[in-house]
Amino acid sequence: MPNTECRKPFTLNLTPYTIYLLHVIADIRYQASNIENQRSKDNTVKLKNIDYSLYLVTDRGLARGRPTLDIVKAAVQGGVTCVQLREKECSTRDFIEKALAIKDFLKARGVPLIINDRVDVALAIAADGVHLGQTDMPLDIARRIVGDSMIIGISAESLADAVEAEKGGADYLGVSPIYVTPTKTDTAPPLGLEGLRTIRAAVHLPLVGIGGLNRDNSAAVIENGGDGVAVVSAIVAADDTAVAAGDLKQIIDEARKP
């Protein structure tokens, strides 16, 4: 004989208080969702308004044994407005530990941290952004991974690179190299100021010039359409990091005046 017990309708007896609690929980979840969405929007707006004017790219090989965190601290004291952490030879664990320490310092001062190349590290530490070269992870794939949670910068070594990156949804461009640089030997031929002007006329993204830049030629980058100047050795290799950064910031600020 069939088991009719299994066919009895299920009834859920909820007291008025239980119903009230369910409504409260639903309301809390709704409010939390709204708060999270607003935070995401606020974060996106904040990240779209980054000051790229003096952009430091780290390089432990030029630091003469000084810890990267110490270099960053002094550079920010001098006026650096954005930091890209570049680590090519350390382990992933060391990279993450170093990035977290630098992020904690920068966050308290409102300075964004961008991770060079490593999308995984950028995600692991919730960095403000990631910077990708022409041989790194493709922009469209990186964007699918990080969404709008962080900015993506792209190295543009030609007008075609710049146009493609803008169409692909990059947030800013590292225009490189402006001049010959001893920091990287595998770069494309220098674009010069003329190349920078050509890219400026073609795209509407923030442009950060990089490659062979120092206190003698940084102003020209701003005067020819750059929104910022990225430096490596001019700060990292300086005897006094804070002073070097301060001198560059003053030069850049003067060049930005109408």
Rounded to whole angstroms, what are the CA distances from 65 to 32, 89, 121? 47, 15, 23
Q: Which of 60, 86, 98, 249 is catalytic?
A: 86
Phi-psi region of 67 (alpha: psi -120 to 50; beta: other; left: phi over 0): beta
Whether 39 sits among the annotated catalytic residues: the reply is no
Say which of 53, 155, 176, 218 is annotated catalytic.
155
Q: Are 214 and 234 in contact (CB under 8 A)?
A: yes
Half-sphere exposure of 110 toward its Cβ, with a 13 Å CA cutoff?
Answer: 5
- For residue 109, indicate whether it is catalytic: no
Is 86 noted as a catalytic residue in this protein?
yes
Written as one string, the DSSP assignment of 136-205 is SS-HHHHHHHHTTSSEEEEEE-SHHHHHHHHHHT-SEEEE--SS--SS-SSPPPP-HHHHHHHHHHH--S
Q: Which residues are catalytic?
A: 86, 155, 184
